[in-house]
């Protein structure tokens, strides 16, 4: 059974249809990269997966359970699905470690001292242990994104969503964030990425989905999509970005 | 008391008699704001029984009637009188005035006299204590000891705050309001027990404004320090002498007393404060 | 260059002050105005009484300000309620703000200060201090709520999304992520409202309390002299000018920090 399965999801903002009957299967431990032009629906899909946006129609199953059920409390679902955004991720009035500890403290109802060792271990793993007491504006963009990833991981999610997490970064800082993503994949984390890093997608992804006008026009292993795209529009897109 | 005042005014009028007779027609010439017209100001609203229905031009009400009588004796027929209105405070500000004289129960005080001019008094007001029935039921009496214990509220711009301190000396500081209408509201709301105002106003307020107003008692005119009403003039206005001459005449020939008898209810049954 | 502009500024200021000092007394009404508005004798006689009455203003201000801060926040949160089930709450917040910002403070003070006690409340529950305070708090909370709301809306949507995606409840997102940032951001605007409040508590005098403005009015009627108003104005200035300067500095510092 797929870890996450999206079935015929529709979503519009006003008259603008952003997702038009989109379907997608994500297996446990898979890294799926969503590619496509801006406005093709990548971000909206991720926001729907995290229940930040309600879907208009269709269903999303997490371990076989429909999470789009309006009677369902969305909070426990969000705790199982972590998300990292393009920018304005961290809470600027809190230090890095406070950012990370906020959700576990409020949701797991544990004291700071009990949670600190686990947080410290995460900071140590991503080479940020000396930045724990820093405020976001004292960190580089790459460090901020790594803290944001640590913050999501602190809730021990089963799936991680990444929405263009490197797009706002200096090219020099992109590498350190991608290294973190590789490390997570190596651990077997289920991941969905919206990305423009084609080289990274080609190298690391298990599956590439090309989104076009709110649908998945073409999907497959990187070698197939990048090596021999079937659709003209896929070819056109790749020609523009590569 | 009334008789003594009357005799005194009569004597004054006699002394001024010759002047007054001459003054009647040309005294005011060239001294008014507008040539040939006497501009008189009062409050807006002007209250019963001083002006009836807030319409001074009707000549109805004590002050309206006094104003027309003074005007007549200064040589202005009724149609040569124009009315305007000012707030209580406007009239006692320094500087030029938009009226020839102003009457809205201005008590004559030496301090006010430094900024504006007053005519001789046209009315001596007895001060009355106004309460509501619940206060009487609770045991309030027209005795100083009882009055001291009441919660007082007064109109701030009037002489009442100073009067209450010297006449009663309440135990708690009085609350102060913009005007007598607000004082009545506070009485209705039960925020104050009692207020002090001139007897005609108190009788009117008790009978008309409040459902259950009671004039608890009065401090007779003459015993209270300085609560004589005078016409207000701009400082140094020469018209004052003409008006004084007219007032003296009115006191001498009984016209003022007649107006008072017509418009101001006598101090019926309000007991004197002991 | 800097020195030259300093010299010019000093010279032009001196010139203006000199012109006022020399020319104003030449006006025909000056003597009268001086006697009525700038009377030294009256000033020193009434000033201590005015300072004492000002304590009433400070007292009212001191208990109004925290209540306004809290109620304003509650109204702002009501307006931010997002769930459709809470629409009545939003509507209430909206109507509340429209009504209380649309009506002059003094009217609210009259209506609440006389009206509610007029329903028959016994003393001391009909006190003008209580209901005057209620009126001021109701009005100012509407303004403060708008300021808070501006602050809340100025926080980037991603902050809300990031916090929500962690699984935090709506209220936790508000309390730990949005409000701490929003409130900090609108401190200067709220400070300006506090300064306005400090002046507006004087309006409570309309329903009875004898605070500095009323006390000055009493002295004025008693002495037929406007100098007590000057004294009252000086007392207000002594508080508001330093407060305003302080707020200006705070805004400047905040702007500098943001850029």
- Report pLDDT digits (tens) over C223-252: 778 899 999 999 999 988 898 888 888 878
For C211, phi and psi rounded to 5 degrees?
-105, -170
Identify the burial level of A222 via C-beta atoms within 10 angstroms of its C-beta, where 0-12 means exposed, 13-18 middle and 19 or more buried: middle
Nearest C-alpha neighbor of C246 from the set C194, C183, C181: C194
Asked whether residue B15 carries a pLDDT value surpassing 60, the answer given is no
Q: What does the pLDDT read at residue B269? A: 59
Asked whether residue B267 carries a pLDDT value surpassing 90, the answer given is no
Contact B161 C218 (CB under 8 A): yes
Q: How many C-beta neighbours within 10 Å does residue B19 have?
A: 15
DSSP-derived 3-state class of residue C198: helix
**Quick check: A136 contacting C, CB < 8 Å?**
no
**Quick check: A141 contacting C, CB < 8 Å?**
no
Residue that has been written with the tokens 């649908």 in this structure: A215
Beta bridge partners of B175: B153
Q: Residue C114 and residue C112: Cα distance in Å, rounded?
A: 6
Kindly report, residue by residue over C93-102, the tens digit of the pLDDT: 999 999 999 9
CATH superfamily of B2-125+227-263: Periplasmic binding protein-like II (3.40.190.10)
Average pLDDT over residues A74-99: 91
- Chain C residues in contact with A79 (beta carbon < 8 A): 166-167
Average pLDDT over residues B54-66: 92
Q: Residue C243 and residue C248: Cα distance in Å, rounded?
A: 9
DSSP-derived 3-state class of residue A219: strand
Average pLDDT over residues C127-146: 94
DSSP-derived 3-state class of residue B206: helix
Average pLDDT over residues A109-138: 91
Annotate C196-227 with b (16+ C-beta within 10 A) or e (fewer). ebbebbbbbbbbbbbbbbbbbbbbbbbbbbbb
pLDDT band at B49 (very low <50, low <70, confident <90, very high): confident
Q: Residue B106 and residue B88: Cα distance in Å, rounded?
A: 8
Alpha-carbon gap: C170 to the closest alpha carbon of chain A (Å): 10
Alpha-carbon gap: A239 to the closest alpha carbon of chain C (Å): 32
CATH architecture of A4-89+158-241: 3-Layer(aba) Sandwich (3.40)
Structural domain boundaries in chain B: 2-125+227-263, 127-219
Range from B221-225, C80-84, C180-184 carrying the lowest mean pLDDT: B221-225
**pTM for the predicted model, two decimal places:** 0.77
Q: What does the pLDDT read at residue B207? A: 84
Q: Residue A165 and residue A147: Cα distance in Å, rounded?
A: 12
Q: What does the pLDDT read at residue B126? A: 84
Q: What does the pLDDT read at residue B222? A: 65
Alpha-carbon gap: B162 to the closest alpha carbon of chain C (Å): 8
Q: What does the pLDDT read at residue B266? A: 57
| Contact (Cβ atoms closer than 8 angstroms) between residue C50 and residue C228 | yes
A-contacting residues in C 132-171 (Cβ below 8 Å): 156, 158-159, 161-169
Kindly report, residue by residue over A186-236, the tens digit of the pLDDT: 999 999 999 999 999 999 999 999 999 899 999 999 999 998 889 899 999
Asked whether residue B7 carries a pLDDT value surpassing 80, the answer given is no
Fold match flag (B2-125+227-263 vs B127-219): yes
- Chain C residues in contact with B114 (beta carbon < 8 A): 35, 224-225
Q: Residue B154 and residue B179: Cα distance in Å, rounded?
A: 8
Minimum-distance CB partner of C210 among B158, B175, B182? B175
Q: What does the pLDDT read at residue B223? A: 62
pLDDT band at C258 (very low <50, low <70, confident <90, very high): low
Q: Residue B112 and residue A200: Cα distance in Å, rounded?
A: 91
| Contact (Cβ atoms closer than 8 angstroms) between residue C42 and residue C228 | yes
Kindly report, residue by residue over B139-164, the tens digit of the pLDDT: 888 888 999 999 999 998 888 888 88
pLDDT band at B18 (very low <50, low <70, confident <90, very high): very low
Alpha-carbon gap: C65 to the closest alpha carbon of chain A (Å): 25
Asked whether residue C20 carries a pLDDT value surpassing 90, the answer given is no
Average pLDDT over residues B219-242: 82
Contact C177 A155 (CB under 8 A): no
Q: What does the pLDDT read at residue B20? A: 41
Asked whether residue C256 carries a pLDDT value surpassing 80, the answer given is no
Average pLDDT over chain C reads 89
Asked whether residue B233 carries a pLDDT value surpassing 90, the answer given is yes
| Contact (Cβ atoms closer than 8 angstroms) between residue B51 and residue B61 | yes
For C18, phi and psi rounded to 5 degrees?
-60, -40
**Quick check: C180 contacting A, CB < 8 Å?**
yes
Q: What does the pLDDT read at residue C35? A: 80
Contact C206 B173 (CB under 8 A): no
Contact A155 C166 (CB under 8 A): yes
Contact C165 A90 (CB under 8 A): no
Pair of tokens at residue A189: 């984390």
Q: Residue C233 and residue B156: Cα distance in Å, rounded?
A: 19
Structural domain boundaries in chain A: 4-89+158-241
Alpha-carbon gap: A75 to the closest alpha carbon of chain C (Å): 5
Asked whether residue B13 carries a pLDDT value surpassing 60, the answer given is no
Helix (H) or strand (E) holding C155, with range, is: none
Domains defined for chain C, CATH in brackets: 40-258 (1.10.3720.10)
Range from A219-223, B10-14, B97-101 carrying the lowest mean pLDDT: B10-14
Kindly report, residue by residue over C110-128, the tens digit of the pLDDT: 999 988 888 878 878 888 9
Beta bridge partners of A192: A32, A161
Q: What does the pLDDT read at residue B21? A: 41
Residues 6+ apart with CB under 8 A from B239: B28, B31, B32, B74, B100, B101, B233
CATH topology of domain B127-219: D-Maltodextrin-Binding Protein; domain 2 (3.40.190)
- Residue count (chain B): 274
- Chain A residues in contact with C181 (beta carbon < 8 A): 91-93
- Chain C residues in contact with B113 (beta carbon < 8 A): 224
């Amino acid at each position: 059974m797929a870890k996450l399965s999206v079935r015929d999801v529709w979503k519009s903002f006003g008259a603008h249809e952003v997702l038009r009957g989109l379907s997608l299967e994500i297996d446990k431990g898979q890294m799926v990269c969503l590619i496509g032009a801006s406005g093709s629906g990548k971000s909206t899909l991720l926001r729907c997966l995290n229940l930040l946006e309600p879907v208009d129609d269709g269903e999303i199953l997490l371990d076989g359970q429909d999470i789009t059920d309006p009677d369902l409390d969305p909070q426990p679902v969000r705790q199982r699905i972590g998300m990292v955004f393009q920018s304005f991720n961290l809470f600027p009035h809190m230090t890095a470690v406070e950012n990370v500890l906020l959700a576990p403290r409020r949701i797991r109802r544990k004291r700071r001292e009990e949670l600190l060792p686990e947080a410290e271990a995460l900071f140590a793993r991503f080479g940020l242990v000396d930045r724990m007491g820093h405020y976001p504006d004292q960190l580089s963009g790459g460090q901020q994104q790594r803290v944001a990833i640590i913050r999501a991981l602190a809730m021990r999610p089963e799936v991680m969503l990444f929405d263009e997490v490197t797009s706002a970064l200096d090219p020099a800082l992109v590498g350190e964030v991608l290294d973190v993503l590789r490390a997570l994949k190596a651990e077997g984390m289920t991941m969905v990425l919206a990305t423009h890093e084609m080289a990274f997608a080609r190298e690391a992804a298990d599956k590439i989905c090309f989104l076009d006008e709110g649908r998945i026009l073409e999907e497959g292993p990187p070698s197939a999509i990048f090596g021999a795209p079937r659709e003209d529009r896929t070819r056109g897109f790749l020609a523009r970005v590569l | 008391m009334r008789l003594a005042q009357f005799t005194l005014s009569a004597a004054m009028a006699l002394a001024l008699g010759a002047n007054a007779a001459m003054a009647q027609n040309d005294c005011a010439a060239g001294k008014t704001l507008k040539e040939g017209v006497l501009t008189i100001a009062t409050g807006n609203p002007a209250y019963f029984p001083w002006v009836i229905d807030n319409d001074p031009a009707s000549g109805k009400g004590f002050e309206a009637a006094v104003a027309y009588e003074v005007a007549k004796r200064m040589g202005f027929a009724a149609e040569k009188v124009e009315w305007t209105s000012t707030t209580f405070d406007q009239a006692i500000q320094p500087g030029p005035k938009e009226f020839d004289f102003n009457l809205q129960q201005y008590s004559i005080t030496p301090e006010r006299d430094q900024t504006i001019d007053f005519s001789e008094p046209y009315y001596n007001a007895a001060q009355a204590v106004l309460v509501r029935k619940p206060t009487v039921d609770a045991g309030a009496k027209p005795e100083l000891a009882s009055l001291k214990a009441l919660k007082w509220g007064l109109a701030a711009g009037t002489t009442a705050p100073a009067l209450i301190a010297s006449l009663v000396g309440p135990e708690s500081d009085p609350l102060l309001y913009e005007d007598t209408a607000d004082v009545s509201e506070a009485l209705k709301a039960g925020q104050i027990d009692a207020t002090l105002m001139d007897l005609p106003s108190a009788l009117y307020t008790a009978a008309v404004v409040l459902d259950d107003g009671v004039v608890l008692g009065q401090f007779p005119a003459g015993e209270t320090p300085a609560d004589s009403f005078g016409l207000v003039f701009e400082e140094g206005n020469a018209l004052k002498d003409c008006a004084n001459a007219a007032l003296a005449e009115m006191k001498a020939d009984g016209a003022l007393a007649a107006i008072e008898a017509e418009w101001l209810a006598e101090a019926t049954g309000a007991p004197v404060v002991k | 260059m800097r020195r030259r502009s300093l010299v010019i500024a000093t010279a032009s200021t001196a010139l203006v002050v000199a012109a006022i000092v020399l020319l104003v007394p030449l006006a025909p009404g000056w003597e009268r105005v001086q006697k009525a508005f700038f009377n030294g004798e009256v000033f020193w006689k009434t000033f201590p009484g005015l300072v004492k009455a000002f304590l009433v203003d400070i007292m009212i201000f001191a208990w109004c300000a925290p209540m306004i801060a809290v109620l304003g926040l509650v109204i702002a949160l009501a307006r931010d309620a997002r769930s459709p089930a809470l629409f009545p709450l939003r509507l209430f917040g909206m109507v509340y703000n429209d009504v209380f910002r649309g009506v002059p403070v003094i009217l609210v003070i009259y209506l609440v200060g006389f009206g509610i006690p007029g329903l028959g409340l016994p003393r001391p529950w009909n006190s003008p201090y209580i209901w005057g305070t209620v009126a001021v708090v109701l009005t100012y909370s509407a303004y403060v709520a708008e300021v808070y709301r501006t602050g809340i809306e100025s926080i980037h949507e991603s902050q809300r999304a990031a916090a929500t995606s962690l699984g935090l409840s709506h209220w936790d997102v508000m309390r730990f992520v949005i409000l701490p940032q929003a409130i900090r951001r609108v401190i200067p605007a709220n400070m300006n409202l506090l300064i306005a409040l400090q002046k507006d508590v004087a309006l409570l005098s309309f329903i009875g309390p004898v605070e500095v403005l009323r006390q000055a009015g009493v002295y004025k009627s008693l002495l037929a002299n406007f100098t007590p108003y000057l004294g009252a104005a000086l007392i207000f200035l002594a508080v508001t000018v330093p407060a305003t300067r302080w707020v200006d500095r705070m805004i400047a510092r905040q702007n500098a920090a943001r850029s």
